[in-house]
Structure 1
Amino acid sequence: MIAAFRSLFLVAVMTTSASAEVTRSILSYDDLNGWAADDHGVALSVFLNTCGDLDDPDWQALCGVARTYKPDAARSFFELFFRPVLVEDGKDGLFTGYFEPELDGSKTRSERYKYPIYKMPPEARGAEKWLSRRDLLTGDVMQGRGLEIAWVDDPVELFFLQIQGSGRIRLPDGKALRVGYGGANGHPYRSIGSELIRRGALGAHQVSAQMIKSWVRKNPEAGTELLFHNPSYVFFREVNRVAPEFGPLGAMNRSVTTMRSIAADPAYTPLGAPVWVEKDGKDPLRRLMIAQDTGSAIKGAQRADIFFGTGDAAGAAAGRLKDPGRMVVLLPIQRAYALLPDEF
């Protein structure tokens, strides 16, 4: 491989911010643990899903070249045209998981289906910070305006649907309605899991989506108040153009792919870029993924959310994931070498 001779070449470019020092180091493919064993052809197909939407000329050129490569030559494509860049901001690597929930609901309100999934009100779009979750749900500002996309039967599942940002609603006739992120009220996200730990209701080792849901349901009054602890509120839009067999739309407005798409912080990882994931923990993972999504809780150079798929099984697996590791972004070769000091 072309980069092998640079195995000892490590360049760090420092930038100073109010919060942390950021370093960017060019690595060799030999430095990527498990690189040779991955299925690069699958990663190439996922890369092709979104690379055509990248505006910069160097990415566009690489996307055109990528279309000429067959899956069995995908490893050569990445090694020839990209360089691995480790971006660090002083924080340890952390991988979590996300998924596309499935909720039971209806397009009409009933005694069972009485918790609305809202579209974004026009006046909220122009506001830097609109009504908080508490004000929005306890007031009458949303009433009688036809902003409901559907109604579901469980307010706790609806809360977690907002955290995921997209999902499917199983309708009584057996059909499904897909919803995607439609905007937010501008308030910062506050973790209810961290709040339960602060209160002493759960230990840090106990916190998971399933444990939080169980606690809220067992303590309905306190649970309702706990959900208000997070002032952020997500609105949705109906998604009609994505076939059922494809994943939900990510931040690039394209379907994300199970176990090959990640949500990352675009301040450090360009959307659409390949990212080598070295996830440690109970079930180590070494895989080339594509940064095709973002998330309000995904902040930092070594922070990523792995997409696990659709439904309850995917949700259970995603909810258990909270592992250390590192991620290495693959940048077009000229971008990577632009990080070099002039005197090198």
Structure 2
Amino acid sequence: MHAVRPRRIGLVLAWAIGAGALGFGATGPAEAEVARRSGEPPLPRHRPALPTETPLQIEDGQLEPVAWADLPGWAEDDHAAALSAFRASCRPLVRGDASADPRPLRRALIAPCRRALALRAPSAEMARKFFETEFRPVRISRIGESAGFLTGYYEPIVDGSRFPTQIFKVPMYRRPPDLVSPNAKPGQPFPNRGPALRVLADGSRVPYHDRAEIEDGALAGRHLELCWLKDPADLLTIQIQGSARVRLEDGTLLRVNYDGHNGFPYTAVGRVLIDRGHIPREEMSMARIRDWMRENPEEANEVRRQNRSFVFFRITGLDVHDEPVGGQGIPLAAGRSIAVDRGLHVYGTPFYITADLPIASLRSADAFRRTMIAQDTGSAIVGPARADLYFGAGDEAGRVAGRIRQAGRFVMLVPREIDPVAVGEKMPLPLLRPPPEPEKPAVKRRPNRAEQRARRSHGAR
């Protein structure tokens, strides 16, 4: 465990090896020989796009540079799969307008992205060398903590209908036209957190309907229904996951994706059930929540409404075999995509995450050691070392994702154009809490004249 330095970057490792020493800085004899033997072209020359003193600033985060050799399981990871996911993120990064996200890390990713996209059929070894040469590993956690927190998510596949029936009675709504967000930007997706308001006929704005009001029919009769589901537990699951495949009665699949929310903060229903003693903490999973709600429908209505947040959806044109589209606007990669705090992190950033997760069963502790790419976000994903792991679509992916609530260690792969060492020199230390003052010895007070007379008279008696 490393020492905690509040509001300052923990800097304990001197970077003795520069980019050129590993071969990507300049294509040297070693890289030429690797390329000749593998039949692959040498990697492009490294041309820094930013000054190396550009600081890396993550609010509430403490950073500690580490060595590649210090990453458990790094050599055994499937680097080719990680590079494939990274390249998918690179395409919108290279094409996009850098001014839309002026953070140094966003700009610093452009050069590695261009070099990644220039690679032709890279082998696993070339992929590993790419990451090791283009990035620096920097451990990240919240200030005062040594580890972060992981959850899992997936794309549910549920039954539904285009029309209401005796079986399918729960509507899934599209985003209403009177719902607006003060934080929305033209051409950008509807924000997944922050205020959302309802525009009235006179142009004034008021808070939008909460979950209880919507479930009681506040949006009924406005032709906003995308489809109808069997029970509220299905809808809640889809709202938590952010996307779904709805299997219609004629066998076709309707692909739906997040398209907005009503502005109320998310309240974890699982937390409510734990606090009320309905489900033991050690047994908590999404499957247990669904089972409890189906077994206790009346009480489930009240519990569900503790989460006043309500999510709206849109129909996507995805093929049946496509993965859902994440916040970056690209299809997610099962086992390689993560949702992160969008306010702190940049889409496309690689993270090497290590944890012991209950993948095989609820009580197992399977080693999870792999490079993940930030490609999505979520309203409940808050903090510098907080991630939601995407496990794919379907029931089995849901069973695994629903079990994930574990601590994990995060190592951010930082482009070499950004020097994390410089941050410690630029970020001021906060005012530390002063130590408690030592107790002063009691000062004997000199008795006044009345007390002196009383003592003399008492002594005379």
TM-score in terms of structure 1 length: 0.90
1:274 alignment partner in structure 2: 350
Residues 123-272 of structure 1: pairs in structure 2 closer than 5 A: 123-126=178-181, 127-128=196-197, 129-139=207-217, 141-240=218-317, 242-272=318-348
> More displaced, 54-63 or 81-90?
54-63
Deviations 1:283-338, CA, capped at 9 Å, x for gaps:
11111110101111111122111111101111011111222221111111112346
Quick check: which has more Rg, 1 or 2?
A: 2
Work out whether 1:87 is the aligned partner of 2:126.
Answer: no
Does 1:64 pair with 2:114? yes
| Map 1:9-24 → 2, pairs under 5 A | 9=14, 21-24=60-63
Question: Partners of 1:291 and 1:53 in 2: how far apart?
Answer: 13
Using the aligned pairs only, state the percent identity.
Answer: 40
Q: Say which of 321, 329, 343 aligns to 2:404.
A: 321
CA shift, 1:15, in A, is: 7.7
Whole-Å separation in 2 of the counterparts to 1:181 and 1:287: 27
Write the deviation string for residues 172-212 of structure 1: whole angstroms up to 9, x where unpaired: 11110000001000101111111112112222112211111
CA positional deviation for 1:52: 2.0
Instruction: After TM superposition, give the deviation of residue 253 of structure 1 in Å.
Output: 1.2
Q: CA deviation at 1:58?
A: 3.0
- 1:57–1:300 Cα change, 3 Å: closer
Cα 1:53–1:16 shift into 2, 3 Å:
closer
Aligned residues, how many? 331
Paired residues for 1:31-42 under 5 Å = 31-42=70-81
Label 1:61 to 1:15 Cα distance change in 2 as closer, same or farther (>3 A): closer
Map of 1:119 onto structure 2: 174
What is the deviation of 1:99? 0.2
Deviations 1:218-264 (A, max 9, x none): 11111111111100000000011x22222101011111011011111
Kept in 2, the 8 Å contact 1:277–1:327? The answer is yes
3-state SS in 2 of match to 1:52: helix
Shift of 1:7: 8.8
Cα pair 1:101 1:166 within 8 Å, conserved: yes
Closer/same/farther in 2, CA of residues 249 and 339 from structure 1, 3 Å limit: farther
Higher share in strand: 1
Q: Counterpart of 2:84 in structure 1: which amino acid?
A: S
The two structures have a TM-score, normalised by structure 2, of 0.68
1:192–1:226 Cα contact (<8 Å) kept: yes
5+ unaligned residues in a row in structure 2: which ranges? 1-10, 16-54, 99-105, 182-195, 198-206, 358-364, 427-461
Do 1:26 and 1:336's aligned partners in 2 also have CA atoms closer than 8 Å?
A: no
Q: SS state of the match for residue 325, structure 1?
A: strand
| 8 Å contact kept, 1:180–1:248 | yes
Structure 1 unmatched ranges of 5 or more: 1-5
Task: State the partner residue of 1:28.
Answer: 67
In structure 1, the residue matched to 2:5 is: none
Q: Which amino acid aligns with 1:51?
A: C
Q: Report if aligned partners of 2:261, 2:312 keep a CA contact under 8 Å in 1.
A: yes
Give the letter aligned to residue 162 of structure 2: K
SS of equivalent residue, structure 1 residue 157 = helix
Say what the alpha-carbon RMSD is for the aligned residues: 2.2
CA gap 1:123/1:40 in 2 versus in 1, 3 angstroms? same
User: Cα gap change, 1:16/1:33 in structure 2, threshold over 3 Å: closer, same or farther?
Assistant: closer
SS in 1 for 2:110: helix
Corresponding position of 2:152: 97
Structure 2 CA distance for aligned equivalents of residues 339 and 175 of structure 1: 55
Counterpart contact for 2:140–2:412, Cα < 8 Å: yes
**Map of 1:48 onto structure 2:** 87
Deviation at 1:137, TM superposition (A): 1.4
Query: 2: distance between equivalents of 1:166 and 1:249?
Result: 8
Give me the whole-angstrom Cα distance separating, in 1, the residues matched to 2:372 and 2:153: 14
1:16–1:142 distance in 2 versus 1, CA, 3 Å = closer
